[in-house]
Amino acid sequence: MKFSTAIIISASAALTSATGPDYNPDTGKWTCHVPDAVYCAGDSLKTNIIIRCTGLVGQPGNCNDNLAGEPPVGVQPSLCYAPELHSAACAKNCIVYGGSGNLEGTFPLPSDVCTPTVPPTTTSEPEPTSTSEPPHTDEPTSTSEPPHTDKPTSTEEPPHTDKPTSTSEPPHTDKPTSTEEPPHTD
């Protein structure tokens, strides 16, 4: 191999590893140049799409959805943050959640690149409730009587009959019961 060919191959390999993943619109697939790298699908803090590589296969994710459980809770605008090539994670309200990509820990973005939105919060203590006794009175408490009616109440019993109740037995047959099993057929 000539020296110039070796330099071209080395430069080509260095250039390939210095770029993000490639998207093939015909297959809809992302191909990564560095195994297990993570990228933003555009410029850092300009897109909400993050590409996570498993081996050399890229899988897109949506930072808005990925950080829905982080404060402020719910699907909120979240961006992909890439401090360097091959490393990225999702950021929400100026907090980078390293575990959403391949960065370490959770940390704030520098104030010169991000201004957090302050969600309205209230942290007031609940008002105490009090229970008090009902006021004392010398008047007797009353219990209401059921309304008066001239119609007598009835506690009738069911009608009496001389006919005995029956418990019928199954019909009698002279045919003996069999304990044989039916013949086996295939």
What Rg, from alpha-carbon coordinates, does the chain have? 41
pTM: 0.56
Pairing of strands 57-62, 49-54: antiparallel
Residue range 14-26, pLDDT digits in tens: 333 468 899 999 9
Identify the helix (H) or strand (E) that includes residue 29. Answer: strand 29-31
Question: Would you place residue 128 in the very low, low, confident or very high pLDDT band (cuts 50, 70, 90)?
Answer: low
Question: Would you place residue 130 in the very low, low, confident or very high pLDDT band (cuts 50, 70, 90)?
Answer: low
Residue range 75-104, pLDDT digits in tens: 999 999 999 999 999 999 999 999 999 999
Q: Which amino acid is at 95?
A: I
Phi-psi region of 129 (alpha: psi -120 to 50; beta: other; left: phi over 0): beta
Q: Which residue has the tokens 């560095």?
A: 34
- 156: three-class secondary structure by DSSP: coil
Q: What is the mean pLDDT of residues 124-150?
A: 64
Q: Which residue has the tokens 């039916």?
A: 182
Token pair belonging to 119: 């969600």
Nearest Cα neighbor of 49 from 90, 86, 84 is 90
pLDDT of residue 12 exceeding 60: no
Asked whether 66 and 78 are in contact (CB, 8 A), the reply is yes
- 52: three-class secondary structure by DSSP: strand
